Structure 1
Amino acid sequence: MRVLAAVAAGFALYAGSPPRELWWLAPLAFAVFAAVVRHRRARAGFGYSLLFGFAFLLPLLGWLQDFLGADFGPWPWLGVAAVEALFIGLAGAGMARVSRLPGGPVWMAAVFVAFEVLRSSVPFGGFPWGRLAFTQDTGLLLPLAALGGSALVSFAVALVGGGLAELVHRLRARRNWAAPLAAVLVPVVGGVAMLPLIGTDAEEGTARVALVQGNAPNIGLGLLNADDELRANHVAEARRLVADVQAGRVPQPDFVVLPEQVGSWGPGRTDPELSAIAEQLGVPLVVGGIGIDADGTLRNQIVQWDPATGAGDRYVKQHLVPFAETIPMRSVARLVTPFVDRFPRDMVPADEPGVLNVGGVRVGVGICYDVAYDDVYTGAVQQGATVLALPTNNAWYGHSEMSYQQLAMARLRAVEHGRAVVVASTSGVSAAVQPDGSVSEQTEQFTAQNLIAEVPLRSTRTVATELGAAPTWVLVALAAGAVLATWWLPRRERS
């Protein structure tokens, strides 16, 4: 029964993930999972949690099969899910141990978050996909992101779930149930109390932003040889925007955002077509492309393109995709990725936040995979960004859920930092996200479309922005202390 419950809980957690707006299903799924590992031995907790992790991650990461399956079979998909499920298994082992401590749901939630942090860091830079926080792009727990970022939201989901499991146990045993009830109610009440405090007013005015989605052929790995078509589509769609603005069919934007990997530039970064588009619009562009520096360094970058002076400041991607933009173990990697031949040398990341001055607007920039990590937009807002941009290329993944999962992350980041987020995707989903996480404009997948969105510019920093990584490390410290206590307390009692 525990095996079946663990598997059912994992699949239920997936069912509560985007694009489905079933945020309440995540704490219920976690409650079943917590009940399974509660008061088990660590070894049993590991086994049950491994099953829970597989049942959650295999369908969640199904877009990897859409991406690589036709050429490489199920092994990349199964391999990534197995590695990430291993971390969830280790989390379950720790949860089983700390569940016997007084206040067990608190320590169980902290341990789960600690292993989310660990798997977001290792191996190869980590893989944050599937964090509990990313199931909460709508609902009552989302406002907590403004207090403690994604770590606090994950902790809240796990605490409500663990509290529910303990509450049911105590009700059945006719024991005092006040403490577990508090564990359930405090995060929910906290989220409700935060709702009116989520700022959306335009403190620094507004910006009219154009998002160019030029579309791409839905050919999976065939995109490796479709760079020219991808660029041509986006240049054509940008020219259509120029024609619409000049004809008065749409208002002139303050700046334009194009997706990731639209261009490819050498050290001089010249591009007559982009320069002409910027000049005709009379406003700057924010555009993504592959860049080669003077020393031969390969970069994934976003460039601010001025209508008068051309290429200006840039942001270089901080978190590179392993086995795509950077290739560990190249001789082995050839068996699971085609990017070994696409990029004969690794791209080089940066460690500087991306804040570009775009027509007088300070735009904080991240690229695609960056949005899953906590540090990228935190650094940008701390350095004065009043709006956030996310150029991305999701055309590799077909009509999968990947784009919607990424949009959910952007919605959480909007609330976390109190900033609007504009998402420009090659093939969708492009969107304008308001500072409260609501989506005001959105495209369909695999369509060519321009969006014009009015977004507020904000300067107030949320508590989460001010604290940065501090809430994460507090929860990690609580988890480590609880696990250590499970060894220390029994020895103390014996002595």
Structure 2
Amino acid sequence: MVRRGPLAAKRVRPPWKPAAARLVLSGVGGAVLSLAFPDPGWWPAAPLGLALLAAAVSGLTWWHAFGIGLTGVLVMYLFTIHWATLYLGLLPWFALSAAQAIVTAPFLAGMGWSLRLVKARSTRAPRGPLLRMIAAPIVVAVWWTAGEVATARWPYGGFSWATLAFSHADGPFALMASWISATGLSFFIAWLAGIAMVTGQFLVAKARGGRGPHPRSVAPPHGEVGWWWAAVGAAGAIVIGAAVLPAYPQTASGSLFVAAVQGNGPAGYFAARSRGDLLSAQVDATREYAAPGAQVIIWPEDGTDLDPTASAKALAEVRALASEFDAPIVVGTIMERAGLFYNSSQVWEQGSVTPSATYDKMHPVPFGEYVPDRGFYSRIVPKLIAMIARDYQPGQASNVFTVAGARAGTALCFDVAYDDVNQQAIRDGAQVLFVQSNNADFGRTDESIQQLDIARIRAIEAGRYLVNISTVGTSAVISSKGSIEQELPTHVAGALNAQVTLYDGTTLGIRVGPFVSAALLIIAAIASAGILGASLLRRRVAVA
């Protein structure tokens, strides 16, 4: 006897037209989702775009959902990181987008299968539509956010960029990051997307007059409308509460007067320059724009092309500036130690001949700052790989150092997108955050604005002021609530001279962040095992 139910349902390949419609819906969803990131940075596009993506894969078998979901994610990345073409070219841009889509697609496949199960169960349950209203948004949130966590870690250390949280710097729920972490904020936005998807399906079913293969699994019967609206009301109360939630309280512990200098030197990888040009541009801008009385001067990543620990000229210039301003200087440069290269941040105190602290970038960018499996990729794209002459090593030391009596945590460029960098800084006692960047390779594209929005979410998550200083922009002083207090025009020399508040304590978002990420991966792994087990059981039943 052949069983009936979701585990023994006959595999039916979708007809061509419905499959094509879902493919288009997925692509549109990916395109809409990309609009949540600058430019234009329209935050409602995040839940709306993901709702369309989720609807496209909803109810499909694993492989069908994989292919359709992959299409939408690929479109989203192609639009969002189009700035990569300026530095890397078309092939690496497409390869990076495809890699992100391939890693994310299994999670969309799991989402589609799980929504199929929810639909099947809700068809037979006494209060099926209510079950679906509650369960489906959670399914969407778990699978999507678990996919974000996975792509932030794999392959090659991951690429944590186009996450839902980072699209929400100007959104009404941004302060939630200080309570539930940036990953938790992504989960909440994905949950909103799930609600939008279920509501949309209900409205479509109602417009069709209940027609369709399983109308009861979407539109509630008359006797259950009250339960349905009770669920909608509860969801609305959660949304309103999230919108008015204040930032997690922190304790102010003084202030620090910073001068962050944007030198606007020739910092691009392919920029025409002579040895020492970057250093000269940064020194000149510091003397012209940094305010007297600054307690610390901050230079960007690659602020000098000459390492002060290896160049007498650079050492003399840095020491002279530290003496003139009577303030330590935080310098971004490339270091060579024992034949290995590091992208580093150094702290130079007045009168010192060696840096008082050095931080090496924790997450060098694969295929930008190092080439994983160089031999393999050299056989595929030898000219491109040859352009990346050095392989930078990942840093191991703490990213917190003391300047002018304050504990400062730092991140170098793309480091800011990784959870562990922000979390480690606060765990190690950072009272203020510095993000040193070199965005020159991306010209006047949206890359630096997208990175600034990431920094704003990190400031909220940590409950700290954040000074984001770039070689060419976008440079800004960000408050602990994510608002921009000062900003420099791009591609001009200047300085951010600001009194920033120091804070002590650890936000709840920093404390729970690692556990939220781990829990999502564990839940996804268990669900994946369940999907695999159900598939094997279905095959055994079919054979029997």
How far did residue 268 of structure 1 move? 5.8
How far did residue 331 of structure 1 move? 4.3
Alignment of 1:294-333 (within 5 A): 295-310=338-353, 311-331=355-375, 333=377
CA separation of 1:419/1:427 partners in 2, compared to 1, >3 Å: closer, same or farther? same
Deviates most, 401-410 or 301-310: 301-310
For residue 291 of structure 1, what is the aligned residue in structure 2?
Answer: 335
Alignment of 1:60-139 (within 5 A): 60-69=80-89, 74-99=90-115, 100-101=117-118, 103-139=135-171
Q: Does 1:164 align with 2:184?
A: no
How far did residue 88 of structure 1 move? 2.6
CA separation of 1:153/1:399 partners in 2, compared to 1, >3 Å: closer, same or farther? same
Counterpart Cα distance in 1 of 2:419 and 2:29: 27
Q: Does 1:452 align with 2:497?
A: yes
Q: Does 1:32 align with 2:52?
A: yes
Runs of 4+, deviation exceeding 6 Å: none
CA separation of 1:382/1:182 partners in 2, compared to 1, >3 Å: closer, same or farther? farther
Q: Does 1:412 align with 2:463?
A: no
Q: Does 1:382 align with 2:427?
A: yes
Q: Does 1:260 align with 2:297?
A: no
Q: Does 1:232 align with 2:280?
A: yes
Amino acid in structure 2 at the alignment position of 1:308: G
For residue 8 of structure 1, what is the aligned residue in structure 2?
Answer: 28
Counterpart Cα distance in 2 of 1:336 and 1:432: 41
Amino acid in structure 2 at the alignment position of 1:211: A
Amino acid in structure 2 at the alignment position of 1:223: A
Deviation readout 1:156-178 (Å, 9 max, x if unpaired): 11111012111232353431535
CA separation of 1:435/1:39 partners in 2, compared to 1, >3 Å: closer, same or farther? same
Check conservation: 1:364, 1:381, Cα contact below 8 A.
Answer: yes
Check conservation: 1:388, 1:420, Cα contact below 8 A.
Answer: yes
How far did residue 365 of structure 1 move? 0.7
How far did residue 147 of structure 1 move? 1.9
For residue 343 of structure 1, what is the aligned residue in structure 2?
Answer: 389
CA separation of 1:226/1:20 partners in 2, compared to 1, >3 Å: closer, same or farther? farther
CA separation of 1:146/1:473 partners in 2, compared to 1, >3 Å: closer, same or farther? same
- From 64, 67, 78, the equivalent of 1:44 is 64
Structure with bigger gyration radius = 2
For residue 248 of structure 1, what is the aligned residue in structure 2?
Answer: none
Q: Does 1:212 align with 2:256?
A: no
TM-score scaled by length of structure 2: 0.82
Deviation readout 1:305-348 (Å, 9 max, x if unpaired): 1112242111111001112221123345453775745534x221
Counterpart Cα distance in 2 of 1:373 and 1:65: 23
Check conservation: 1:388, 1:421, Cα contact below 8 A.
Answer: yes
What secondary structure, in the 3-state scheme, does the structure 2 residue paired with 1:456 have? strand
The CA RMSD over aligned residues, in Å, is: 2.5
Deviation readout 1:222-274 (Å, 9 max, x if unpaired): 237566322221111112136x63xxxxxx21111100112332756761101
Check conservation: 2:247, 2:460, Cα contact below 8 A.
Answer: no
Counterpart Cα distance in 1 of 2:383 and 2:265: 21
What secondary structure, in the 3-state scheme, does the structure 2 residue paired with 1:283 have? coil
How far did residue 278 of structure 1 move? 0.8
TM-score scaled by length of structure 1: 0.90
For residue 249 of structure 1, what is the aligned residue in structure 2?
Answer: none
Check conservation: 1:267, 1:292, Cα contact below 8 A.
Answer: no
CA separation of 1:425/1:336 partners in 2, compared to 1, >3 Å: closer, same or farther? farther
For residue 444 of structure 2, what is the aligned residue in structure 1?
Answer: 399
> Which structure 2 segments of 5+ residues have no match?
1-20, 119-130, 206-217
Check conservation: 1:164, 1:184, Cα contact below 8 A.
Answer: no
What secondary structure, in the 3-state scheme, does the structure 2 residue paired with 1:205 have? strand
CA separation of 1:390/1:479 partners in 2, compared to 1, >3 Å: closer, same or farther? same
Amino acid in structure 2 at the alignment position of 1:326: Y
Alignment of 1:171-190 (within 5 A): 171=203, 172=205, 173-175=218-220, 177-178=228-229, 181=232, 184-185=235-236, 188-190=239-241
For residue 149 of structure 1, what is the aligned residue in structure 2?
Answer: 181
How far did residue 3 of structure 1 move? 2.0
Counterpart Cα distance in 2 of 1:408 and 1:227: 33
What secondary structure, in the 3-state scheme, does the structure 1 residue paired with 2:335 have? strand
Deviation readout 1:448-492 (Å, 9 max, x if unpaired): 111112211000211012234011111222223333344557859
Check conservation: 2:261, 2:297, Cα contact below 8 A.
Answer: yes
How far did residue 184 of structure 1 move? 5.0
CA separation of 1:154/1:444 partners in 2, compared to 1, >3 Å: closer, same or farther? same
What secondary structure, in the 3-state scheme, does the structure 1 residue paired with 2:433 have? strand
Counterpart Cα distance in 2 of 1:449 and 1:382: 32
Equivalent pairs, count = 479
Counterpart Cα distance in 1 of 2:98 and 2:272: 27
Counterpart Cα distance in 2 of 1:44 and 1:182: 34
> Which structure 1 segments of 5+ residues have no match?
246-251
Counterpart Cα distance in 2 of 1:470 and 1:227: 47
**Overall identity of the aligned pairs, in %:** 29
Check conservation: 1:98, 1:483, Cα contact below 8 A.
Answer: no
Alignment of 1:189-208 (within 5 A): 189-194=240-245, 196-199=246-249, 203-208=252-257
- From 474, 481, 488, the equivalent of 1:429 is 474
Amino acid in structure 2 at the alignment position of 1:327: V
Deviates most, 42-51 or 381-390: 42-51
Counterpart Cα distance in 1 of 2:429 and 2:311: 26
CA separation of 1:481/1:332 partners in 2, compared to 1, >3 Å: closer, same or farther? closer
Q: Does 1:272 align with 2:316?
A: yes
Check conservation: 2:22, 2:68, Cα contact below 8 A.
Answer: yes
How far did residue 288 of structure 1 move? 0.5
